[in-house]
Amino acid sequence: GIGYEVESNKEKGLGRPDILLKDEDNRRAIIIEAKKSEKEADMDKDCDKAIKQIVDERYAEGLYGYEQIICCGMAFFQKQAMIKLME
């Protein structure tokens, strides 16, 4: 997209986030970590695991100059998806 840079599985912090979107014009970044759930009831817990991984692996390190960093945990089960934002 215009004005956005998309990275996938590039090294950040201590690991590799699934998706990193950088909006350089507005100085925003979105970190997305995704998990595949074994059952529908696990989706909420798996979103929390994804957010915990973003924090534990320090994926936001190195994103200097960004005024807003949004962290999202995603979980998928069959054709369903759930997204949670880090508070």
- Structure tokens that stand for 40 in this block: 């529908």
Q: Is a pLDDT exceeding 70 seen at residue 1?
A: no
pLDDT band at 24 (very low <50, low <70, confident <90, very high): confident
Over range 48-66, report the average pLDDT.
93
Q: How far apart are the first and last CA of the chain?
A: 27
Residue 9's pLDDT is: 87
Tell which residue, 24, 47, 20, has the closest CA to residue 32.
20
Higher per-residue pLDDT: 4 or 56: 56
Residue 84's pLDDT is: 98
